[in-house]
Each structure stands twice: as structure tokens, then as C-alpha cells.
Amino acid sequence: MRFTLLVGGSGGQGGMSMGMTLAESAVKGGKHASFMPLYGPEQRGGAAKCTVIISDEPIISPLPLKTDGLIAMNEASYKKYIKELRPGGLLVRNSSRSTSAIKRDDIRVLEIPADDIAVELGSSKIAGIVLIGAMLGFSNMMDPKMLMDSLEEKFESKGDAIVDLNRRALYKGVELGTKAAAG
């Protein structure tokens, strides 16, 4: 099993740290992973993307042309990176921030109003976790528990409420992703 994922968003939206946590949790879970960020000079705003590869085999090249999955966190990154998704690939799009018509018919699409779900769950900051949970449910790229273990470790010092918030966000996404994959 090998899955390549592109996460695209604007700088400061959390896409990078999300991709990093995902890859790190895969390594902790005994898989091979690489994380390759690409961003402009801006600390906030501007386009930022990262490529995460998770694989059962050691990773030879970290630079695929097309990826198996794309998480588009906003409209700009959807438009910019949709061409990098391979035919048959999975798109998880933040429909709270990206609503333009999807013109490709050779991909599978899951629209998640991640910002709205995040606010409902209690914090706008966790929209990214919802999206990544959705991709995990949609794709089977990795057991969500591996990511949850890492999130728990990462947010342990911030208290149970924050860990729980992340858990609810992740598994809400997983639920929506699994449902979409089945349907």
C-alpha cells in the first residue's frame, strides 16, 4: 500500500502542520512516510502545499507528478492543485471555502463543509483535522487511530478538552469519509 497526498491551503491555515503530523504518525505506527513542503515567502496567506507519502515500502522518490489524494482547504488551492490529482484520485474539498464547479469527471469527490463543522464542534481551528479525517475515511490510506495517537501526544499538555476536540473533529471527518466511500 502506498498513498500520496497533496494538502493545499493558504499559509497559516494549518495544512503544513497537518501533513507533517500525518506523516509523523505513520512513521510512529511503523510505516514509511515522507513530507515535502513547498511554499512562497509569505508567513500568512499565499499558496502553501505539502506532499505526504505513506507507504509500506521504503520511499524512493519523494516527488510524484500526480498524487492519489488532494485536500483542498480553500478555493485558491483547489484551482491551483486540482490538476496534480491523478485520474481516479480522491478529492476532499473544504466546501465552506471553495464552491466553484468541479470540471473533472475522472476523479472521486467528497465535499466537506469543514469550517462549519469545526465551528459546530467548538473551534474554527480544527477544520483541517475534519478534512484529514475525511480523507482517511475516504481512502483507507492509514488507520485513523495512528493519527489520533499522535494528536493526543501533541495536545496532551493543552488538556483533555483540546484532545477531545481533536478526537471529535477527526472521527467526524472519518465518519463522513467512510460513508462517502461506501456510497
Partner 1 sequence: MAKLFMKGNEAVGEAAVRGGIRFFAGYPITPQSELPEYLSWRLPEVCGTFIQAESEVAAINMVYGAAATGARAMTGSSSPGISLKSEGISYLSAAELPAVIINVQRGGPGLGSIQPAQQDYLQATKAPGHGGFRMMVFAPNSIQEAVDLVYEAPEYADRDRSPVLVLMDGCLGTMMDEVELPPFKELPETICKPWTVGYDGTTRSGHLITPIYPEAGLEGKNKLAVARTKRWEENDVQVEEFMLDDAEWVIVAYGIASRVAKQAILNLRNKGVKVGMIRPITLFPFPKKSIAELDYSQVKGLIDIEMSIPALMREDIELQVLGRAPVYEYGRSGGVLLDDDSTEAAIWKIIEEASSNG
Binding residues for partner 1 (CB under 8 A): 20, 23-24, 27-28, 32-38, 40-41, 59-66
Nearest alpha carbon to residue 92 among 183, 24, 171, 181: 181
- Characterise 28 by phi-psi region: left (phi > 0), alpha (psi -120 to 50), beta (else): alpha
C-alpha closest to that of 138 among 160, 107, 102, 104? 107
Q: How far is the CB of 30 from partner 1 (least distance, A)?
A: 10
Q: How far is the CB of 39 from partner 1 (least distance, A)?
A: 9
CB 63 → partner 1: shortest distance, Å? 5
Which residue, 36 or 181, is less far from partner 1 as judged by CB?
36
Report whether 125 contacts 118 (CB < 8 A). Answer: yes
The residue among 22 and 112 lying less far from partner 1, judged by its C-beta, is 22
Residue 59 vs 76, nearer CB to partner 1: 59
Smallest distance from partner 1 to CB 8, Å = 15
**In angstroms, what CA-CA distances link 117 with 63, 125, 136, 139, 144?**
33, 11, 17, 20, 18
Which residue lies nearer to partner 1 by CB, 16 or 134?
A: 16
